[in-house]
């Protein structure tokens, strides 16, 4: 079986073709660097995604956050449900852990919000 993919590792967006046999990727073509091959292998067998979203503060202000590493794609919806339940207090600094261990990743703030000398 062949699967056509667009590599999302960098902005070039190479068109990849992965050949899959017995649930395993046996060849990848179209990539112009090794990262594309690794991406295609992961995407076909165990797709992963970094999640970017916001959490609300207790007064309703949104704070941008993301997973600090990719999580399984099929867990993104469950992760979003957990993230949407959270209400946090300000101030928040870049890198603060908002929720620990969400499918192997921490949810971290990506912007300073509230407090002195920060937005």
Which residues here bind ligand SF4, judged by CB under 6 A?
7, 9-10, 12-14, 31-33, 35-36
State the burial class of residue 22 (Cβ atoms within 10 Å of its Cβ: 0-12, 13-18, 19+).
exposed
Distance in Å, CB of 19 to ligand SF4, minimum: 16
CB of 90 to ligand SF4, least distance (A): 37
DSSP class of residue 61?
-
Write down the least CB distance from residue 63 to ligand SF4, Å.
30
Nearer to ligand SF4, 73 or 111 (CB): 73
Of all helices (H) and strands (E), which one includes residue 77?
A: helix 76-85
Query: Which C-beta is closer to ligand SF4: that of 27 or that of 32?
Result: 32
Closest C-alpha among 17, 103, 41 to residue 67: 103
Supply the minimum distance, in Å, between the C-beta of residue 14 and ligand SF4. Answer: 3
One DSSP character per residue, 53-116 reads EEEEETTS-EEEEEESS-EEGGGHHHHHHHHHH-EEPSPB-TT-EEEEEETTEEEEE-S-BSST
């Amino acid at each position: 079986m062949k699967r056509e993919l667009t590599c999302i590792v960098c902005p070039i967006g190479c068109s990849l073709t992965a050949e899959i046999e017995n649930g395993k990727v046996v060849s990848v073509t179209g990539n112009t660097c090794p990262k594309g091959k690794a991406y295609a292998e992961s995407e076909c067998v165990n797709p992963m995604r970094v999640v970017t979203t916001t959490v609300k503060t207790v007064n309703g202000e949104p704070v941008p956050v993301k997973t600090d590493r990719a999580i399984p794609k099929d867990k993104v919806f469950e992760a979003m449900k957990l993230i949407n339940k959270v209400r946090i207090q300000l101030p928040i600094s870049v890198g603060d852990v908002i929720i620990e261990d969400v499918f192997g990743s921490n949810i971290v703030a990506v912007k300073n919000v509230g407090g002195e000398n920060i937005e």
